[in-house]
Structure 1
Amino acid sequence: MTFTDAERRAMARALELAATPGVPLGPNPRVGCVLLADDGSTVAEGHHRGAGTPHAEADALAEAGAAARGTTAVVTLEPCNHTGRTGPCAQALVAAGVRRVVFAQSDANPVAAGGRATLRSAGIDVEHGLLEDDARALNRSWTFAVEHGRPFVTWKLATTLDGRSAAADGTSRWISGRASRLDVHRLRAGADVVLVGTGTVLADDPALTVRDADDVPLARQPLRAVMGLRELDAGRRVLDGQAETLLLRTRDPHEALATLRAHDRQHVFLEGGPTLAASFLRAGLVDEVVAYVAPVLLGAGASAVGDLGITTIASAFRPTVTDVTVLEPVAAGDQPDVRLTMAPHHASEER
C-alpha cells in the first residue's frame, strides 16, 4: 500500500471532520471525507451529520460539484454500497468521476459492504488501511457491534477501598465524590443505552438521565433499559418520560443485548447492581470496566459484584488496566477518587 504525504494529511483531517462535535449518536458510524486535487490541495470536505443526512462522501461531492472529477477521495470508512435513506456512496463517487479512493477502515456491515469492489470494477484506483487504527478507535462501539453482532458493554461501578457498593443498612449515596459523579454523566453521554436491573430501580429509584453540572438533563438522552422480571410501579423515575425507557423482560444477558442490538444500539453503559454485573461477567459480556474507587472503608455491606463462581485465586478475574486517573475534588469535603479503566482479556482476544 502506497500513500502520499497529502493523502496522510487528508486522512488526519477526515478523522477530525468525522469527530465534529454535535453529531448525534445513532446506528451510523462517524465518517469524514476530503477530496484532493492532483497537486495535493483540498478541493472539498464533508462529514456525516447523523442518520438520514448525506453521507460524508456525498457531502464532499456536493461541495465540489464538477471539480470532483479526477480527484482522490480520502475517506475514513469504506464507501457504502447500498441504498438506505441515502444512495450508495460508491456509485456516487463513480458518477462524479473520482480517480482514486483511499479509505481507512473496511466496512464489516454486510448490508453496506462491497464499495471497494464496485469502485474497482469502475476502473477507480482503491487503497485502504491508512490510519485504520485511528478510524476504528473513533467508531469503537459501532465497529464492535458490527463485527460481533451485539453492543459493546462498559460496566461502571463505584466502590470503597474494601470493595463495597453499599453500607450494611443498604445506603449507597454517596460512596464516590461529586467529581466522579460528573465523570459518570460524561461517560453516559457517550453511550446509547444505560442499563440496570429491576432491583436497582426498586432499591434506588435512579433517573438514569445524563445531566449537566447544574443537574439539568441534557437535550439528547441515551435509552434507559431496565432488565428483569419484577414489575415496576408507574411512579418510578425511570418511567418519568424524560428519556425513552425499554423494559427487558429477561434475566439473560445474551437475550438483553440481542434485543438492544435489534433496536440499533451500539454501546451499553451497565450500571446495575452486583447481581446484574456478575451475570454479565459470568457470560463474558463485559468489554470494558470503569471503576471509581473512593478512599472509604465500610467493613460490611453489599459487595461491588456478586458471585462469579470463582473459588481460587488462580481463577480470579484479572482485567488489564488501561488507564488510571485521579479525579480531583470539585465539592467541599470530598477527597480525590481514583478512576480505573480496564479491559477484560476476552475483549482484546476477540479481535
Structure 2
Amino acid sequence: MQRALHLAATPDVPHHPNPRVGCVLLDDDGRTVGEGHHRGAGTPHAEVAALADAGEAARGATAVVTLEPCNHTGRTGPCAQALIEAGVRRVVVAQRDPNPVAAGGVATLEAAGIEVEAGLRAAEARALNASWTFAHERGRPYVTWKFAATLDGRSAAADGTSRWVSSRPARLDTHRLRAACDTMLVGTNTVAVDDPRLTVRDEQDQPLATQPLRVVMGERDLPADSAILDDAAPSLHLRTRDPLVALQTLRRDHDRHHVFLEGGPTLAAAFLRAGLVDEVVTYVAPMLLGTGRNAVGDLGITTIADARHLYLRDATVLGSGAEANVRLTMTPEET
C-alpha cells in the first residue's frame, strides 16, 4: 500500500477535479507484476493502468489500491468491472469512495467472488485527497483563508497601500498553495481596489499552464477592464453576498472542492461568522504600522471570552532578515 500511495502522490498529477489514486498488482509471492496511477481527468484510472502494465500476469493477482474501485461509467468504464474481467483474485482498498455516484465497487467485487479487504492505511489515503473527500462528505468545497499581515495585524497602511506586506519568499509560497486549489475567491471590492490577476505563477512571474477558476462574489458589477476578466485563466462572477450560497453553487454547478479565499477583511469576516473557514494560512511580516486596515473585519466579538480560537498546525520561517515572513497554518476551533 505504501507504494500505491507513493504512486498516487506523483508530483505532476493534478489535484483536481479527480482524486489522486495509485494501484499495485502483486502475484502470490508478493512480487509486483503491474502498477499505475491516475494522471488526471479523461485518462485511465489507476486500476486500468496497472492492469495494462501487468497484462496476463493480472490473472490471480492481488490488487492494492488507494481508493475503492469506481462502480460507474464516466469518461472511462467502471474499474470494479475491469478488475473482475482481468481475473484478479483479491483486492485491498485503503479509502472507501465518498462519491455516491462512483461508490459501490467493493460490493460489486464481493458479489463476483473476489476477496476484498478495506481500510488499510485509510487515513493516509484520505489525507492524499483531503479536500476532494471533504467536498463529497460536506456538500461544499473546503475553504482555505489566506492573508498577509504585519506584526500588529494590519493588512494595509492607512493610505490603503499594501505592497508588499508579504515578502517575495512568502509570495512564492502562496503560489505553491494556490496551485493545489481549484478555485480562487475574492469579493467585488478587492477587484475594484486591488485589481488582482489571481493566477498561479512561477518564480519568473509567468503563469502556469493549469490555472484555478477565478471567482468574484458580490452584487456589484465588475469593471470591464478588470485583470481577473482576462484570458489567462477562467473566471466567474457569483452575484451573491452569502458565503454558503457561493460555496454550494461552486460545488453543485462547477464541481469545485477547494476554495482559496483571498478576499479582503469584510469577505473574510463573512466566511468566519458563517463557520465556513476550514483552514487559515497567514504570512506574518516583521513590520509595524500602528494603524491601517485590519486583516479581518467585524466578527461581532465584544469580550475576550468570545474570541475565535485557532489550533496551530505549523509555523515555518520563509526567507531571512528583511525578507523573512512566518507562515502560520491553523485550523478553526469549530472545524
TM-score of the aligned structures, taking structure 2 as reference length? 0.98
1:228-243 equivalences under 5 Å are 228-243=218-233
Summarize the Cα distance change of 1:335–1:52 in structure 2 as closer, same or farther, 3 Å threshold. closer
Amino acid at match of 1:173: R
Give 2:58's aligned residue.
68
1:144-223 equivalences under 5 Å are 144-223=134-213
How many Å separate the matches in 1 of 2:233 and 2:287?
33
CA contact (8 A) 1:178 1:334 kept: no
Give 2:326's aligned residue.
338
Unaligned runs of 5+ in 1: 1-10
Give 2:287's aligned residue.
296
Amino acid at match of 2:110: R
Amino acid at match of 1:310: I
How many angstroms does 1:162 deviate by? 1.0
Q: Select which of 303, 313, 316 maps to 1:322.
A: 313
How many Å separate the matches in 2 of 1:64 and 1:216?
40
How many Å separate the matches in 2 of 1:95 and 1:325?
49
CA contact (8 A) 2:143 2:259 kept: yes
1:30-109 equivalences under 5 Å are 30-109=20-99
SS in structure 1 of the partner of residue 36 of structure 2: strand
Amino acid at match of 2:107: A
Q: What's the % identity of the aligned pairs?
A: 72
How many angstroms does 1:21 deviate by? 1.9
How many angstroms does 1:335 deviate by? 3.5
CA contact (8 A) 2:169 2:323 kept: no
Q: Select which of 118, 121, 146 maps to 2:108.
A: 118
SS in structure 2 of the partner of residue 45 of structure 1: strand
1:246-325 equivalences under 5 Å are 246-261=236-251, 262-325=253-316
How many angstroms does 1:339 deviate by? 0.6
Give 1:7's aligned residue.
none
How many angstroms does 1:124 deviate by? 0.7
How many Å separate the matches in 2 of 1:272 and 1:294?
19
How many angstroms does 1:231 deviate by? 0.9
- Pairwise CA RMSD: 1.0
Give 1:5's aligned residue.
none
How many Å separate the matches in 1 of 2:15 and 2:90?
30
SS in structure 1 of the partner of residue 294 of structure 2: coil
Bigger CA drift: 84-93 or 20-29? Answer: 20-29
SS in structure 1 of the partner of residue 224 of structure 2: coil
How many angstroms does 1:240 deviate by? 1.3
How many Å separate the matches in 1 of 2:121 and 2:16?
23
How many Å separate the matches in 1 of 2:90 and 2:333?
39
How many angstroms does 1:165 deviate by? 0.8
For these two proteins, the number of residue pairs brought into alignment is 334
How many Å separate the matches in 2 of 1:15 and 1:104?
9
How many angstroms does 1:334 deviate by? 2.7
TM-score of the aligned structures, taking structure 1 as reference length? 0.94
Give 1:6's aligned residue.
none
CA contact (8 A) 2:192 2:223 kept: no
How many Å separate the matches in 2 of 1:148 and 1:94?
32
Task: Describe the superposition over 1:113-135 as per-residue Cα deviations: whole angstroms up to 9, x where unpaired.
Answer: 11111111111110011111111
Amino acid at match of 2:30: G
How many Å separate the matches in 2 of 1:148 and 1:138?
17
How many Å separate the matches in 1 of 2:28 and 2:202?
47
How many Å separate the matches in 2 of 1:305 and 1:48?
40
